[in-house]
Amino acid sequence: MSKIKGANVLITGGANGIGKLMGLKCLQESAANLIIWDINEENLDKTSKEFSAKGYKNVITFLVDIAKIDDIEKAATEVLLEIGNIDILINNAGIVAGKQNFWDYTARDIEKTISINVNGPMHVARVFLKDMINQRRGHVVNIASASSFISLPKGSVYASSKWAVFGWSESLRLELEDEGGDLHVTTVCPSYIDTGMFKGVKAPLLFPLLQPEEVANKVIAAIKRNEIILMLPEKTQIVPILKGLMPTRVFDKVASFIGVYTSMSSFEGRPKDERIPDKKKKVK
């Protein structure tokens, strides 16, 4: 069982939303240090002050763009030298691009989504994994999506990024298990969460919007239980089973009927003033 108490926990995208909630819960579980990486300087400052006001003085923030390898490696070097090895890494940062057919995406839309959602988690894990292996202890949590298992019209680039995260995360788990020791990977696959990130989506029948607090609680519980895959809500576990058993056209009809294939048609996402700023300065 992975212990949060006394652990150094690093969360990417941890200054807002689910990442911020998970960070607070780790502090409540007596984490030794909470390291937050985020690209939004204002949110980092607000979150740091908020946590400090609650009595948590062990929060260290860095302004990091996980789409940039240099940012990742520089911040990781500082973390390892000044704080120590990371015991629990939560790859939470991500973006959503949607509401258009694939041929309407720009090259920048595609590159940005893959850089942040796929390359980012891989490079963040890469810079900390060898130290985890050397200490024979560590837990990597990768936030994928329920769309890792199903097609997502009007969200093809987002879905493809999450399919990639799921495949990499599970492969990494098996490699770490071969190393022995107390090394774990948990892959989290939630359906739509009721945050600004998914503003405008229409939740499919049987799969209502998830509440952020609920998701954060279940991820923290999954870490402590060393769960391999966490699917939210639990009924989404039936999706890959049905997809494997049904002929493709039959499954398409079922997915269309319950609204999965039209769920991104009214997607809006975060307002422009809440999206990722173009800033590079590091905050500590």
Q: Which domains does the chain have, with CATH numbers?
A: 8-274 (3.40.50.720)
pLDDT computed for residue 272 by the predictor: 54
Give me the mean pLDDT over the 212-235 stretch. 97
pLDDT computed for residue 279 by the predictor: 43
The answer to whether 158 is a known catalytic residue is yes
Q: Which of 56, 158, 192, 261 is catalytic?
A: 158
Banded pLDDT at 206 (limits 50, 70, 90): confident
Banded pLDDT at 1 (limits 50, 70, 90): confident
Nearest to 32, CA basis, from 77, 87, 97: 87
Banded pLDDT at 19 (limits 50, 70, 90): very high
Burial 88-111 (b: 16+ CB within 10 A, else e): bbbbbbbbbbbbbeeeebeeebbe
User: What average pLDDT does the structure give for the chain?
Assistant: 94
Whether 274 shows a pLDDT value over 80: the answer reads: no
Whether 271 shows a pLDDT value over 90: the answer reads: no
Whether 8 shows a pLDDT value over 80: the answer reads: yes
Please give the Cα distance from 93 to 142 (Å, whole number). 10
